Structure 1
Amino acid sequence: MVTLITNILLRYRALNLPILYFVAFLTRVGFGVIVIAFPHYVTADSLVTGIVLSIYPLFEAVSAAPAGMYVDRHGRKRVLLFGLTSITILTFLLGLSRDTLFIAVVHGVMGVSAAAVIVSTLTMITDLTKISDRGVGMGLFDLANIAGYAGGILIGTGLYTTFEASPSYVFFTTTILLLIATILAKILVIEPPHERLTAPLTFNFFRALSWKIKSLLPLWFVLTTLVGIAFFIPKALSLGGFSVEESGLLLFAGAAGLGVGATIFGRISDKIGREKTMWIGIVGMLILLPTLALSLSPETNPDYPDFGAYLYVIAPSALMVSALVPSILALVGDTARSTLRGSAMGLYSIMLSLGIAVGNVVGGASGHIGGLPAILYVAEGLFLAAVILKLLLSRLGGNE
């Protein structure tokens, strides 16, 4: 009888990772709806919209490190449940008013919830994977993450079109989805086995990272800045003449491609190494951004608003870009101390949050000055600078 119960528990534990991916997928669907709907929900100009969007990641940045420390000391699941429960409530509150100050505050506090969700989820995935399969593990998470966003963008487009006269119902509908994710996490997700941190409390978060990972921080920061810029793209597309439906479909196609590519390159990173895979993504990004800028300007693309011949460059380079996230996250998981995995993921979440905040403002300011092409050219400059800085830091570490 004891053997039977043990076997059942082991099989159930083996399902923990797929269950976690499914919960992450449902949560990101909710986030995706908010991504497409929120910029249109804000009744302000481009610059103010960018500032309102930036408050969320700033709150996330402040709370990511405490979330990581709590995860290391007290466990993963309770932090995940806190994040899911609170973001469900806050999404409901978001639909109660379109007052700019009110939604800025509510949306900002949602960043605390997001930090709890992302730090606990990434730490659990690190616990449940080994070096030999962590790349594909992070790739599958990125697939669930991006597929959720892509599905949410598509659903959000439909919801916003349906409830355009009463957009609050978009957020009320999203609340139901997030509530389902919370209930599933409460019932099905189990705490993975891991070492608990018992050392004295410290705020030196960098001790959880090797020099190799520290040298990647500028690149990760700018990469997340590009994510923040991407959050502004729906409004930039609408200002450029695209409808909500067209911008939603365009973002859905891009996100879906990145999600599938992340799984492929996650497995590749398990075979050829994290850094080699990461460089595939870097080259892809350096090609993708200026090509997109050229294709989205009627002055340089005679087929605008279609991509025309530029599509033959955009498609493969976008696939290459999907190598970045799984290879970097797997590298962090490989090198972080087992008792400081939460802190390591917390630090990377801080960079994620700050990058998104900067990206929101940069996207808003660039869009205000020169529209979508200007946004993409600025993004290219930032990314190129980050690559150069990463190379310099890597050389400095090699000389030590």
Structure 2
Amino acid sequence: MKSKVILYMVIVICFLDLFIQLPIITPFALELGASEFMAGIVVAMYSLFNMVGNVAGGYFSDKFGRRNTLLFGMIMQVFFVLIYTTTPSLGILLAVRAIHGFSSGLLTPAAFSLVADISRKSAIGKSMALTGVAIGSAAILGPAAGGIISSTVSYEMVYYVLSGVYVFGTLLTLFSIKESSTKESRQSHMATPFIELLLRPALNVAYISSFTLMIAQGTLAFGLPIKTASLNADASMTGMMLSVFGVTAIIVFASPINKIYSIYKSESLVAAGILVLSLSMILLHFVPTIGTIFGVMVIYGLGFGLIFPSMNKIIAEHSAMNERGKANGIFYSYFSLGSVAGSILAGYFATVFSLPFLGIGIVTLVMLAVLMFIRYKLEMNRP
């Protein structure tokens, strides 16, 4: 139990660098002379190379082991994060974002493969729900810490603190995390090629779910400030709304409600969650008051709570130990791809409808239909 608690702490650290930068990376880029368009590219650069890092991290964790990959990624993070503090120009900032996104991407497949490896089959759903608590904690702590440190000291101090956090993560991994993969699984890591994992129908349910979830997340980050401003509310309301969704999801993950992950099929929970997200998007387009937006954020948090552990459980259930790292690498690369797609689509629908939510709600319903078709084909092919 102690080793699992430490592993969840490591997952908080893995995701902290994403969330702690949310309030500062755009103004940091603008301070270096970036236009708003170029600042957007600076933000997207991290996600683009994070996707590459996810695939590489999955491969390394199958070949060299989960712990070794985590350790390597943590050490890279210590040094790459520090480069931000001496970044003199926009060009160098873009390069730093690329290498930082890559090194950060190495961590996630290794960490989640480790959780799946050490979890009993009957408890995988609950274990993945607790990873959601870890990520939710990072999502709540990170932006607040980044905003407070940058406003009271400087942008550079955020990265000094973050580097220190990764020193702590390196020590935790070195002294408290044990390797979960076996020598036999590492020796047979090439038995399953990437293309087979990419095309495996059962895993595609998880891939599509992660892509769809992150399209919705990207739209929420882009469109919620616009919606808030249209109702003449203070900009701080946006942060409070996002916190409501995060807290709701954590309640689902950590409370007795998490028994649903063991009772119901993961595919059914994912489908129900995407339906709830789609309805939330459509409601956000039409709701007329700040109070009703808070209500919709609770609904959105419930949808997120249904999806996140369930799609991670699908990866764990439909991949063997020698291929699980690669499967998680592909899975989390879809996360990054969904973030980029969500921002682009949200921008397009905002120009068409003034708000992006209605268009995205339709897109996520289409993705749900694709997912249901794949699930139908799977059921038909089962003996």
Are residue 153 (structure 1) and residue 143 (structure 2) matched? yes
Offset of 1:69 from its aligned partner? 1.9
- Which of 361, 375, 382 matches 1:394? 375
Q: Tell me, what secondary structure is at the counterpart of 1:36?
A: coil
Partner residue in 2 for 1:172: 160
Are residue 376 (structure 1) and residue 357 (structure 2) matched? yes
Offset of 1:330 from its aligned partner? 0.6
Partner residue in 1 for 2:194: 205
Change (3 A) 1:179 1:197: closer
Q: Is the 8 A contact 2:274 2:365 kept in 1?
A: no
| Counterpart AA for 2:291 | G
- Which of 9, 12, 18 matches 2:5? 18
- Which of 53, 59, 64 matches 1:63? 53
**d(CA) in 2 for partners of 1:178 and 1:235?**
31
Are residue 35 (structure 1) and residue 43 (structure 2) matched? no
TM alignment of 1:1-400, pairs within 5 A? 14-43=1-30, 44-97=34-87, 99-163=89-153, 166-194=154-182, 195-199=184-188, 201=190, 204-208=193-197, 210-230=200-220, 232=222, 245-264=236-255, 266-295=258-287, 301=288, 303=289, 307-363=290-346, 369=351, 374-400=355-381
Change (3 A) 1:266 1:340: farther
**d(CA) in 1 for partners of 2:271 and 2:26?**
33
Q: Is the 8 A contact 1:95 1:172 kept in 2?
A: yes
**d(CA) in 1 for partners of 2:119 and 2:73?**
23
Change (3 A) 1:179 1:360: farther
Offset of 1:122 from its aligned partner? 0.5
Which moved further from structure 2: 99-108 or 121-130?
Answer: 99-108
**d(CA) in 2 for partners of 1:146 and 1:379?**
23
Q: How many residues align?
A: 374
Change (3 A) 1:228 1:320: closer
**d(CA) in 2 for partners of 1:375 and 1:84?**
37
Superposed CA RMSD:
2.9
Change (3 A) 1:182 1:242: farther
Q: Deviations over 1:233-288 (max 9, x none)?
A: 68768987877754444433332322332345543111222123223312220221
Change (3 A) 1:266 1:84: farther
Identity %: 18
Q: Tell me, what secondary structure is at the counterpart of 2:163?
A: helix
Offset of 1:123 from its aligned partner? 0.5
Q: Tell me, what secondary structure is at the counterpart of 2:27?
A: helix
Change (3 A) 1:232 1:39: farther
Change (3 A) 1:159 1:350: same
Q: Is the 8 A contact 1:28 1:145 kept in 2?
A: yes
**d(CA) in 2 for partners of 1:370 and 1:378?**
9
Q: Tell me, what secondary structure is at the counterpart of 1:336?
A: coil
Change (3 A) 1:311 1:70: closer
**d(CA) in 2 for partners of 1:231 and 1:88?**
28
Partner residue in 2 for 1:8: none
Q: Is the 8 A contact 1:74 1:196 kept in 2?
A: no
Which moved further from structure 2: 343-352 or 229-238?
Answer: 229-238
Which moved further from structure 2: 318-327 or 184-193?
Answer: 184-193
Q: Is the 8 A contact 1:53 1:360 kept in 2?
A: no
| Counterpart AA for 1:279 | A
**d(CA) in 1 for partners of 2:88 and 2:361?**
34
Offset of 1:80 from its aligned partner? 0.5
| Counterpart AA for 1:19 | I
**d(CA) in 1 for partners of 2:155 and 2:227?**
19
**d(CA) in 1 for partners of 2:94 and 2:222?**
15
Q: Is the 8 A contact 2:246 2:301 kept in 1?
A: no
Change (3 A) 1:197 1:36: same
**d(CA) in 2 for partners of 1:90 and 1:392?**
43
Offset of 1:128 from its aligned partner? 0.8
**d(CA) in 2 for partners of 1:102 and 1:80?**
26
Offset of 1:37 from its aligned partner? 1.8
Offset of 1:172 from its aligned partner? 2.4
